Amino acid sequence: MAYFDAASSAPLHPVARQALLACLDEGWADPARLYREGRRARMLLDAARETAAEAVGCRTDELTFTSSGSGAVHTGISGALAGRRRVGRHLIVSAVEHSSVLHSAEVFEAAGGSVTEVPVLRTGAVSVESYADALRPDTALACLQSANHEVGTRQPVADVAEACRAAGVPLLVDAAQSLGWGPVRGDWSLLAASAHKWGGPSGVGLLAVRKGVRFAPQGPVDERESGRAAGFENIPAIVAAAASLRAVRAEAAEESLRLRELTELIRSRVPRLVPDVEVVGDPERRLPGIVTFSCLYVDGETLLHELDRAGFSVSSGSSCTSSTLTPSHVLKAMGVLSEGNVRVSLPAGTTAQDVERFLEVLPQAVAGVREKLGAPVATAAVPRGDSLVVDALGRRCPIPVIELAKVIGDVPVGGTVRVLSDDEAARLDIPAWCEMRGQEYVGEEPADRGTAYLIRRTT
C-alpha cells in the first residue's frame, strides 16, 4: 500500500517514535514541581522548546506548545484580536486559508467584527497588492498561510509581512504545511504549526508570538505555557515533536529535491496519460511533495475508492467527497475544476517505483469511473432553434458537466446550451469546463428550480 496523503498527516518519523518511547519513562512528571522527577521533566520540556524555537526562528519565551495546530491558530487569532481591540475590529484572511482560520474568522464576525477575504489568483496565490489594499486603519490582524494545504502553492509571505509591518498590522502565518521544509521568511508577528504535518505525533501544536505583539489570551487563565495553553503539557509528545522537526529539517534539502522530481513527473505525465485533466496550483512556487489535478467527468469519491483498491491512499477536495456536497473552498476560490479532484502528497521516503506504479494505475481507474458515469439515465435535451436545454436537476457532480459535454456538438457554432442544475458544484465546474474546452461561459440566471447556466459554442 502506498500512502500518498502526507499533507493530511505525515507518517510518524523514526526519530519521533524513539523520542516518544524514551520520554514515556522520563518525562511523565509535573514540570512545575521542584523534586527530581519534576526537574527532569522540566529539562526535557525546556530542551524541546529550545529546539522548536530554533527551527521556527524565534526566542524560546515566544514559543508556546498547544494541543493541536488548529488550537494554535484559534489561540493566536483570538489573542491577537483581543490584544488589539482598541485599534479596531477588522480581520483579514485569504480565501484559501485552512478551515481553522476561516472558522475563527466566522466566530469573530458573528461577535460583531468585520472580515475581509482576499481573493487569490488561479494559481492559488494571493497578490501582494490585493493584501495591501485590504489593510485599513482599524485592521487588528491579518492572516496568511505559508503554503496551501490542498494545492501546494507557496504564498508571498515575506512581501505581505512587509506591507503589514508598514501599516502597523501584525501578520499571523499558518505554517503547518511548510515548517518541516524550512523556516518562514519575512517579518511575521505570529506563527502556528502542527507536529503531525512533519512526522511528529498528533496532538502537538506550536504558537509563536513575537515580543511586542499585543496579545491577550482568551478563556480561563492557566499558569502553564505563559497562560496561552491550558492543561498539563504532554511532554513525551512535545519532545518527540521537537526531535522530529530537527530531524526532518536535517533531511529537508536532499528530500526536497527528490520529492520535487517525483511530483514534477506526476504533473507532466498525468495530462498525457489521462485526457481532460487540469493540473492545478502554481507550477514553480510550490511545496516539494504536493501535486493536485482534477479530472473531467469523474466522481471524486468513486475515484478515490478505485485508487484505494489499487493500493494508493490519496485525498480529494472534490465536492462529492464532502458530506455537505459543496465544492472545496480552495478550488472554488481559485476558479478551477472541482470535480474528480485528486491530491497526491508524497511523504519522505516515497520511491520512484511507487510513483511509476501510480501512473500505471491512474488511467485505468479514471477510465473505469468515467465508463460507469458515461451512460446515466437519459437526461432530456430539448432543442430550441440554435439552442439546447439540458435538464440536470437532481443530478450531482459530475453529471451536469457530462451531459453538457455530450450535447455541445449538437448546436452550431454560436449556438447555446442552457444547463439546468441545482447542484452548487455546477457553479464552479461548468465555467471551468468551458475554459478547458474553449467554449464561452455566458453566465447564469435563476430558474424555476435551481439555476440555468448558459454556454455558447465557440469551437
Three cell numbers written together for 147: 503554503
Residue 231: Cβ-neighbour burial (10 angstroms; 0-12, 13-18, 19+): exposed
Asked if pLDDT for residue 382 goes beyond 60, the answer is: no
- Residues taking part in catalysis: 320
Q: Which residues, 6 or more positions from 31, have their beta carbon under 8 angstroms from its beta carbon? A: 38, 41, 42, 44, 45, 233, 235
Residue 339 has pLDDT above 90, yes or no: no
Within 92-208, residue ranges assigned H as helices are 99-110, 128-134, 157-167
Confirm if 420 and 381 have CB atoms less than 8 A apart.
Answer: no
Report which residue type is found at 118.
V
Give the whole-angstrom CA distance, residue 329 versus residue 394: 22
Give me the pLDDT at residue 318, please.
56
In whole angstroms, what is the distance from residue 131 CA to residue 111 CA?
24
Helices (H), 335-413: 352-373, 399-407
CB distance 392 to 403 below 8 Å: yes
Question: Looking at the predicted structure, is the pLDDT value of residue 380 above 70?
Answer: no
Q: How far apart are CA 411 and CA 458, in angstroms?
A: 10
Q: What's the grid cell of residue 116?
A: 475581509
pLDDT value at residue 326:
66
C-alpha cell at 198: 512533519
* DSSP state string for 279-317: EES-SSSB-TTEEEEEETT--HHHHHHHHHHTTEE-B--
pLDDT bin (cut points 50, 70, 90) of residue 385 is low
Q: Averaged over 357-377, what is the pLDDT?
A: 83
- In sequence order, which ranges of 65-189 are alpha helices (DSSP H)? 69-83, 99-110, 128-134, 157-167
**Percent above pLDDT 70 for the chain:** 95
What is the average pLDDT across 280-291? Answer: 95
**Residue 165 pLDDT greater than 90, yes or no:** yes
pLDDT score at 201: 97
All three cell numbers of 217, joined, read: 489570551
Q: Specify the pLDDT at position 167.
A: 97
Q: Which helix (DSSP H) or strand (DSSP E) does residue 22 occupy? A: helix 14-26
**Beta sheet of 90-94, edge-to-edge order:** 63-66, 205-209, 190-194, 171-174, 139-145, 90-94, 114-118
Question: What is the full DSSP assignment across 247-277?
Answer: HHHHHHHHHHHHHHHHHHHHHHHHHHHSSSE
In the predicted structure, residue 258 carries a pLDDT above the cut 90: yes
Q: What is the DSSP string of 167-187?
A: HT--EEEE-TTTGGG-PPPS-
% helix / strand / coil in the chain, to the nearest 5? 40, 20, 40
Q: How far is CA 388 from CA 257, 299, 364, 381, 421, in A?
A: 51, 25, 33, 6, 14
Q: How confident is the model at residue 459 (pLDDT cuts 50, 70, 90)?
A: confident
Whether 82 and 190 have beta carbons less than 8 Å apart is answered as: no
Whose cell is 457553479? That residue is 427
Q: Which three cell numbers stand for residue 431?
A: 465555467
Per the prediction, the chain carries an average pLDDT of 92
- Angle in degrees, 0-180, between the axes of helices 69-83 and 99-110, rounded to the nearest 10: 40
Q: What is the pTM of this model?
A: 0.86
pLDDT tens digit string along 425-450? 899 899 999 998 899 999 999 888 89
Query: 424, 444, 448, 422: which is closest to 434 by C-alpha?
Result: 444
Cell 469551437 locates to 459
- Residue range 5-22, pLDDT digits in tens: 999 999 999 999 999 999
Chain center to CA of 298: 22
